[in-house]
Chains A and B, each alone.
Chain A
Amino acid sequence: MSQQFRICPDTGLKLYQPAETMIKVHAVAAVVCLLVGGIYGLLVGLTRWPAVHLLPADWFYLALTGHGLNVLIFWCIFFEIALLYFASSVLLGCRLAVPRFAWVGFALMVIGVLMNNYIVMSGEASVMMTSYAPMEAHPLFYLSLILFAVGALVGCFVFFGTLVIAKEEKTYEGSVPLVTFGAITAAIIAVFTIISGAIILIPTLLWSLGFLAEIDALMYRLIWWAFGHSSQQINVAAHITVWYAIASIVFGAKPMSEKVSRMAFFMYILFLQLASVHHLLVDPGVSSEFKMFNTSYAMYLAVMASMVHGLTVPGSIESAQRAKGFNSGLFEWLRRAPWGNPTFSGMFISLVGFGFLGGISGVTMGVEQINILVHNTLYVPGHFHATVVIGTTLAFMALTYWLVPVIFRRELIWKRLASWQPYLFGLGMAGVSVFLMGAGTLGVPRRHWDITFSTTGGIVHEFPAAANTLLALSGLSVLLAVLGGAIFCLIIVGSLLFGRKLGVDEKSSTFIIASPPSDADYEGIGKGGIAVPGTLVMAIVFFVAFAVYYFINWKYLAQTWGIS
């Protein structure tokens, strides 16, 4: 074995030093972006709290642009590239393909982030991350996003190259692990995403430079969302991959069945990324037939896949726990889970929040007609703070706690605080999400500085008093969530700087990995021929909540004006 490899004393994984370095730099860059974006988020959140109304209008729109880009794009994608390197080089125990390219990719991404933050802060690009043409930003804005995307694309190709190396050098036998399979799904979607991004951003850049006369507004939206929507599917595929990984790390869980979990990932590739028209449900120029086709054929199959993961991830945990002897009742397995371990609690809160808050609201508002009720209201940010913050961000945070000792070789500092962090952040974000959705249901617009219309000098509109209450509650939740986010950044940065260094062969003093139950342990678990009755009950509760909420919204729709 070359000296560039070491064996992890805790997990027995074979680690390639250049891959570890790449994982570290991407993870650190990710956390820095989360920190910057989180500060913007605090400012935005406090401005939308009517009693505080912190920022002046121009700063609000600037901060909202910076918030969306730093957290949604930069934090998530930096972390995902780290995840790709982990799922390839680390899990397959092979070298990383062309580390020099990996550095080039990373450098492009960093340049993109710096350039983007510079131009947004200068005030010449307060166009929101969607930058809907014909509203125009400074050319550097589009250029910075192109650079970042190309960097990410390079990262994807290094990942694919690494898979090829592992196969050729036979560092594993049979098929790739499920977690690697999930990462492949994310990477394939990423390639599609970045190509769509190039198709729309390159002409837009040329237009902003004056080389192109016009960008059609509808065409822009159609292609931009092919990019914007599938970029969210990278997040979903990635955080579900993290769920599976954490179930195996904390419980030694194995997939309930490889076939179901892998097919569910595969369906993402087939259906999810094409289903971007739910962003255009109230647009002119797109036919109803296409809207319905695209949201049902292409979307419900993908929704199905997510719902399947929603069963199989907790199901794999339940069966592992039952195999370890926590087999009585419906929920002993869950009660006896390590709720003080932030890697587990973060993952589980992510799972529940993503499904119950993000999933149900997303599918409901993705119905062609129901979308009329909530399009561009605060309901939309309410929905995606459940998916991309409780779902993706919290799952990534949970995994980061584990990466600190394993990859960075540092002990975590302030472990007690760390064990509280997922609850603080999860609860705060659940509040932000639910209260924003509530305000959106009352018609409060998103991306809006002043819903009292005090400066229009003409017509004003008064929202129901409940809207103000909901926004105040959202403001309080913002404080809680920001506290949780700040604690995370503090603990991670603090651990990397001041955490005790672990020796080469030293085991971490925290729990790192569970040994998997044996096949014999798995025999006879569960009740009445069902291996995971607790999970099935939770799934059915979820289904009932979903169906009720779905039909309530149809009823609500039926009460408004006739539209035809």
Chain B
Amino acid sequence: MTSLSPPKDRIWWNEPIERSELIWITIVFLWGLVMTFMMPFWHVVGNQNLSTETYRTTPERFMQKTQAFVDEYTVRNEGPRQYPVVKPPPGGDVYMVARLWDFWPIIELTKGETYRFHLSSLDWQHGFSLQPANINIQVLPKYEHVVSFTPNKSGEYSVICNEYCGIGHHLMIGKIIVVE
């Protein structure tokens, strides 16, 4: 009798279970419970949870909101592309557009403050990957995703696209500056 031939007993489900199997099944089951517990537990005690607050939107509506945000809070222009650097008040809303192929505008935040980021795409799917903080969030067209961020270190951060979005995918990059 092997695994290649029918079981010896017709009623195979009455066979005894080997002791090491029982020990292992017990360990594995308890471990499954621990892991199941950890996720809701982190929602209670942890500081890194996505709220998954989402609204339906359209590229036009989202672009309008972002433009209004840029018009209100731009403090200067920067870089070879002269992108607006936008400094929203602490606790305020931040709009960032993902489009073929950049993230717009540049955002300036203050360390330790919390901001409500609104993320959406104007065209295809993109990936918001904040480096080196290593925060990765999917960005979809027609969905406005609201995520609150509290930067805990000052410095220059890049937002790189890590969802393949066509031939210019590797050109797609944006910036967030965190000041003290």
By a beta-carbon cutoff of 8 Å, the part of chain A in contact with chain B is 57-58, 61, 91, 126-128, 132, 134-135, 172-179, 216-218, 221, 244-245, 247-249, 252-262, 280, 282-288, 291-292, 295-297, 300-301, 303-304, 307-308, 311-312, 315-316, 363, 367-369, 371-377, 441-443, 445-451, 453, 455-461, 463-464, 516, 529-533, 535-536, 539-540, 543, 546-547, 550, 554, 557-558, 560-564
Is B21 close to A, CB under 8 A?
A: yes
Asked whether, in the complex, the Cβ of A377 is within 8 Å of the Cβ of B129, the reply is yes
Return 17 A-B CB contacts under 8 Å, by A number. A174-B10, A177-B3, A218-B140, A259-B15, A288-B50, A300-B36, A376-B162, A377-B134, A441-B134, A445-B160, A448-B169, A453-B170, A458-B80, A463-B131, A516-B2, A558-B48, A560-B48
Asked whether, in the complex, the Cβ of B170 is within 8 Å of the Cβ of A450, the reply is yes
Across-interface contacts of A307 in B (CB, < 8 A): 24, 28
Asked whether, in the complex, the Cβ of B173 is within 8 Å of the Cβ of A460, the reply is yes
Q: How far apart are the CA atoms of A2 and B163 in the complex, in Å?
A: 57
Across-interface contacts of B138 in A (CB, < 8 A): 221, 280, 282-284, 375-376
Across-interface contacts of B12 in A (CB, < 8 A): 174-175, 258-259, 262
Is B54 close to A, CB under 8 A?
A: yes
By a beta-carbon cutoff of 8 Å, the part of chain B in contact with chain A is 1-7, 9-10, 12-21, 23-25, 27-29, 31-32, 35-36, 38-40, 42-43, 46-52, 54, 79-81, 83, 102, 114, 119, 123-125, 127, 129-138, 140-145, 147-152, 158, 160-167, 169-171, 173-175
Q: How far apart are the CA atoms of A247 and B3 in the complex, in Å?
A: 8
Asked whether, in the complex, the Cβ of B20 is within 8 Å of the Cβ of A254, the reply is no
Shortest Cβ distance from residue A177 to the other chain B in the assembled complex, whole angstroms: 5
Across-interface contacts of A134 in B (CB, < 8 A): 123-125, 141
Q: How far apart are the CA atoms of A303 and B119 in the complex, in Å?
A: 33
Question: Chain A: which residue is nearest B129 at the CB level?
Answer: A445
Asked whether, in the complex, the Cβ of B143 is within 8 Å of the Cβ of A172, the reply is no
Asked whether, in the complex, the Cβ of B136 is within 8 Å of the Cβ of A375, the reply is yes
Q: Is the interface of B mostly helix, strand, loop or mixed?
A: mixed
Known: A258-B12, A369-B48, A375-B138. A536 touches B23 (CB 8 A): yes
Question: Chain A: which residue is nearest B171 at the CB level?
Answer: A456
Task: Tell which of A135, A179, A308, A563 touches B49, judged by Cβ atoms closer than 8 Å.
Answer: A563
Known: A315-B20, A443-B134, A458-B81. A296 touches B39 (CB 8 A): yes
Known: A256-B18, A259-B17. A369 touches B46 (CB 8 A): yes
Asked whether, in the complex, the Cβ of B171 is within 8 Å of the Cβ of A455, the reply is yes
> What's the A-B contact tally at a CB cutoff of 8 Å?
321
Across-interface contacts of B142 in A (CB, < 8 A): 216-217
Across-interface contacts of A304 in B (CB, < 8 A): 25, 28-29, 32
Across-interface contacts of A301 in B (CB, < 8 A): 32
Q: A307-B24, A376-B163 are in contact. List 7 more A-B contacts (CB 8 A).
A: A174-B7, A256-B21, A296-B32, A447-B169, A458-B80, A558-B46, A563-B48
Across-interface contacts of B83 in A (CB, < 8 A): 458
Across-interface contacts of B125 in A (CB, < 8 A): 132, 134-135, 217, 221
Asked whether, in the complex, the Cβ of A369 is within 8 Å of the Cβ of B19, the reply is no
Across-interface contacts of A172 in B (CB, < 8 A): 6
Q: How far apart are the CA atoms of A288 and B148 in the complex, in Å?
A: 15
Asked whether, in the complex, the Cβ of B137 is within 8 Å of the Cβ of A288, the reply is no
Asked whether, in the complex, the Cβ of A178 is within 8 Å of the Cβ of B171, the reply is no
Task: Tell which of A58, A135, A285, A445 touches B54, judged by Cβ atoms closer than 8 Å.
Answer: A285
Asked whether, in the complex, the Cβ of A458 is within 8 Å of the Cβ of B21, the reply is no
Task: Tell which of A175, A253, A448, A533 touches B2, judged by Cβ atoms closer than 8 Å.
Answer: A253
Q: How far apart are the CA atoms of A307 and B25 in the complex, in Å?
A: 8
Asked whether, in the complex, the Cβ of B151 is within 8 Å of the Cβ of A561, the reply is yes
Known: A285-B143, A304-B29, A369-B48. A296 touches B20 (CB 8 A): no
Shortest Cβ distance from residue A240 to the other chain B in the assembled complex, whole angstroms: 11
Across-interface contacts of A128 in B (CB, < 8 A): 164
Asked whether, in the complex, the Cβ of A288 is within 8 Å of the Cβ of B52, the reply is yes
